[in-house]
Structure 1
Amino acid sequence: MNSGKRVAAMHRVPGRRVGVALAAGVAVTLGAALSVQPATAGESDARAVGLHVENGRLVESTGNDFVIRGANHAHAWFTDQLGALGDIKELGANTVRVVLSSGHQWERTTPDQVAEIVAECKANRLICVLEVHDTTGYGEQSAAVSLDAAADYWVSVLGELQGEEDHIIVNIGNEPFGNTGYEAWSADTTAAIGKLRDAGFEHTIMVDAPNWGQDWTGTMRDGAQDVYASDPTGNTVFSIHMYGVYNAPGAVEEYLNTFVDAGLPILVGEFGHNHSDGDPDEDAIMATAEQLDLGYLGWSWSGNSSEVGYLDLVNGFDPAQLTEWGERLFHGENGVAATAEEATIYN
């Protein structure tokens, strides 16, 4: 299977009926489903270093509120395209989410490569979210590995990441459950966070939703408070991926507002303008994120397989060849160029 096919596989949500049902009716239940007290961890946490969470918001060590705006880049399959980070920065992004591999499904991203990515992020004045992709669809995708296996990978590259807490967010594993076995998401996510903290990670940790990232079952929504409380540093943020399930403004607004109302940090870690499982409402996603001052990261820079080639932001990794989706994300209303603010750590 070529690298383009691998990119396509991560967005699988079997059965369009799920997305239509959620957008049409289930959204009205989201606001009431997460009944928790506002999260306050981080206010007096002496361990908080670099990027961290305060009062449900991601902030820099300077105390500046930081709103992630940018794109995803599939580095693990295109290791010769590291220059994409600079190109994404030139289009106005303040953050890039970079795909790594633990070596279980694809060629392992080595410690030296991790160090190179970190250096490239800093050279281009970007915040980088680093994610292990081998967990995608665990429980349903036979080749996928557990969050525990992803955590082991992170521990193996800790030396390349220590001291970079101002610049790097650790996204433990991409879309760590499909639509099978997702009930274990809370326990497995809590355990993985604990393994990283025990190993000495002080970075902000990002955790993806199950159900191929879209949480149509409400599993992350309902378990978020307990997962957040399990982190002794209080520096965990939640990432929802918005594709066909989020095909109407109500579904987008209800889901994001549920976290905001609970005082829990949330962002849209992936989304597109179209998808095989339905038609995401990218206008509502970007408008709601801007209204609530939440981050978003569009999928993806370039290299998607032909089935989902419309998700490429540029053609052939060429920043001069923005696609329709690229124009929308970077230059459209509530887009990256108009809304992203560079991290103050670079000032």
Structure 2
Amino acid sequence: MGIGVLASSSTTTATGASFGDGVNLQPAYYCSGEQDLGWDLMNEYPDIETVRIEIEPPTGGETSATLSDIRRWIDEANANGYQVIATYHHWPSNGSGDPQDLQDAANWWVENYDYLSQNSSFTINLHNEWGTHEVSVSEYGSAYDSALSKLRDSNYDGTVICDVPGYGQEPQIAADSVGYIGDDNIAFSVHVYAKAWNEYAGEPLKESHLDYLNSNQPYPCLVGEFGPLGPDDRTDWSAVVDHAKELGWPVLGWAWNGDGESDPMNMISPFWGDDCSATSYSKTSYFDTVYNKLSGGGSGDGGGETTTQYLNAEYYSLDGVSTATSRTDYWGDAYVTGFDSSGDSVTVNFDAVTSGERTVKIRYAAPYDDKECNLYINSQSVGQALLPYSTSFQQTDAGTYQFVEGYNEITIEKGWGYYDIDAIIVK
């Protein structure tokens, strides 16, 4: 499912990747991977929508966690309603310029994707921070082209996140590399820390470097990691993260738990390196440094829901319809099609922190003509939603409606029919 087309000689503008803001978890190096991950506390903070889980491969000799542990982390994140980015993180290869390390990551995904995805869906981040600061455009692009080609030998056909080189700090190299990369379903991830250095420009990482990546290649972008790791006199990490959000990029803070630095950046306590038996957690003084950068930020303590719900239709209740993958640019694993008989419908659901009005948007394709669908909120008809003619997936505003605190349902029913539904967005 392609998100864009290969860059040509003309300037192309990227968009933000289709994730909500969120946090990183690094459980692989502690407690043999068996610790409680702190979902009860995380669920109190609605601006955390995505979790990026760093996975040390058990075959690499650097972790006692097993594939079963890794699958549990992913399954629990899915069960708690989070979008999941699963990242191959063999730490001795971080910052490596050896293409074989990237190929090893691709091979690992080919061998293990089916097992890890048996119960849950996730997005693959091929390798954490592959590529030196000095890697050339052709070296980076060619290495990723080969590794991506290998990865597609697996059953995974979703977006692959590619960290930009130089420990995630060389976005210009990634932007210029797309002519060497044949896979058209990728996203680029930048890592933003106070210590970040951009060798391409010979200066600390700056907002303009993100602009270059955003404007000179067609693929989605995100900040896969951010935090105040020093020295503080280099990159203004906070300003760069704010600019990424202005560009519409999702941002993922470092780290929920699992950071082992001497001055650890962990949002919750106790640290897994100190206590493997904890079943309840509390916020650290560092928590708000990350959380205030996510979506609307705020305390999470009764402050109301500010998160946007991205409800991929294929994961919910289907009546008379089916999933398909032939149309490009869908989110998640598929889209829903076959609205051709009376009563055909898809029903999605979400939990609202408080009652109140929310805007509903529908991501759809209507390749034959303008269409209308019947719309129901909590089983009550609210009329029809217009789906203007479009041969590709687009969003349309379906109106603003009252929702109750707790469980809510939204149903799209055939109406005129002969359209496809990719997702419902509630904000």
Q: TM-score, normalised by structure 2?
A: 0.57
For 2:306 and 2:241, how far apart are their aligned partners in 1? 10
2:310 maps to a residue whose letter is A
Q: Answer yes or no: is the 8 Å Cα contact 2:22–2:252 preserved in 1.
A: yes
1:341 to 298, 304, 308: 308
> What does residue 223 of structure 2 align with?
268
**CA shift digits 1:143-202 (9 cap, x unpaired):** x9701011111111121355778x411001101123465663221111111111133321
1:323 has 2:285 as partner: yes
Aligned-residue offset at 1:105:
4.8
> What does residue 136 of structure 1 align with?
94
With 273-282 and 112-121 compared, the bigger mean Cα shift is at: 273-282
For 2:234 and 2:39, how far apart are their aligned partners in 1? 28
For 1:303 and 1:333, how far apart are their aligned partners in 2? 19
- Gap change, CA 1:202 and 1:307, over 3 Å in 2: same
Rg (Cα) greater in structure: 2
> What does residue 158 of structure 1 align with?
113
**CA shift digits 1:233-290 (9 cap, x unpaired):** x32100011122379xx95421222233233211111111232475542431332132
For 1:285 and 1:124, how far apart are their aligned partners in 2? 30
Q: Answer yes or no: is the 8 Å Cα contact 2:87–2:126 preserved in 1.
A: yes
3-state SS of paired residue (1:211): helix
Number of residue-to-residue matches in the alignment: 280
2:89 maps to a residue whose letter is H
For 2:35 and 2:100, how far apart are their aligned partners in 1? 26
Aligned-residue offset at 1:122:
1.4
3-state SS of paired residue (2:268): coil
1:220 maps to a residue whose letter is A
- Gap change, CA 1:193 and 1:153, over 3 Å in 2: same
Gaps of 5+ in 2: 1-7, 199-203, 272-279, 299-304, 313-347, 350-427
Q: Answer yes or no: is the 8 Å Cα contact 1:67–1:340 preserved in 2.
A: no
For 1:277 and 1:36, how far apart are their aligned partners in 2? 37
3-state SS of paired residue (1:307): coil
Q: Answer yes or no: is the 8 Å Cα contact 1:260–1:266 preserved in 2.
A: yes
Q: Let me know the Cα RMSD of the aligned residues.
A: 3.3
**CA shift digits 1:29-69 (9 cap, x unpaired):** xxxxx965437xxxxxxxxxxxxxxx7454xxxxxxx3431
Q: Answer yes or no: is the 8 Å Cα contact 2:34–2:69 preserved in 1.
A: no
3-state SS of paired residue (1:152): helix
Q: Which has the higher contact order (CA 8 A, sep 6+)?
A: 1
1:235 has 2:185 as partner: yes
> What does residue 169 of structure 1 align with?
123
Gaps of 5+ in 1: 1-33, 40-54, 59-65
1:200 to 145, 151, 155: 155
- Gap change, CA 1:37 and 1:200, over 3 Å in 2: farther
Q: Answer yes or no: is the 8 Å Cα contact 1:82–1:117 preserved in 2.
A: no
Q: Answer yes or no: is the 8 Å Cα contact 1:126–1:343 preserved in 2.
A: no
For 2:220 and 2:119, how far apart are their aligned partners in 1? 21
1:38 maps to a residue whose letter is T
> What does residue 221 of structure 1 align with?
175
Question: Percent same amino acid at aligned positions?
Answer: 24
Aligned-residue offset at 1:329:
1.7
3-state SS of paired residue (2:177): helix
- Structure holding more strand per residue: 2
For 2:214 and 2:249, how far apart are their aligned partners in 1? 9
Question: Mapping of 1:223-302 within 5 angstroms?
Answer: 223-227=177-181, 230-231=182-183, 234-243=184-193, 244-245=195-196, 251-262=205-216, 263-276=218-231, 278-302=233-257
1:73 has 2:16 as partner: no
> What does residue 22 of structure 1 align with?
none
- Structure holding more helix per residue: 1
Aligned-residue offset at 1:109:
5.3
2:164 to 182, 186, 209: 209
Aligned-residue offset at 1:96:
0.6
